[in-house]
């Protein structure tokens, strides 16, 4: 299922860009009918790692 990840008050976060894999954790909320993870804890995955 699709999930939007949102960091409130941040325009960008170093290391996070489209296509970058990461592991995010937190509480999922519903916003405008979509699943959203607000201000999650996250871990960037190494570039080129498949899993």
Give a yes or no: residue 51 inside a domain.
no
Query: Cβ(47)–Cβ(15) under 8 Å?
Result: no
pLDDT(50) > 90: no
Give a yes or no: residue 49 inside a domain.
no
Name beta bridge partners: 42.
24
The mean predicted confidence, pLDDT, of the chain is 92
Within the chain, how many helices (H) and strands (E) appear? 0, 5
Q: What is the pTM of this model?
A: 0.74
Give a yes or no: residue 20 inside a domain.
yes
The model's pLDDT over 9-33, given as tens digits with 9 standing for 90+, comes to 999 999 999 889 999 999 999 999 9
The pLDDT value given to residue 51:
58
In residues, how long is the chain? Answer: 51
Query: Cβ(16)–Cβ(1) under 8 Å?
Result: no
Domain extent for 10: 4-44
């Amino acid at each position: 299922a699709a999930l939007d990840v949102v960091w409130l008050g941040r325009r960008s976060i170093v290391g996070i860009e489209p296509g970058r894999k990461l592991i995010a954790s937190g509480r999922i909320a519903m916003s405008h009918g979509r699943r959203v993870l607000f201000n999650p804890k996250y871990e960037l995955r190494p570039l080129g790692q498949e899993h």
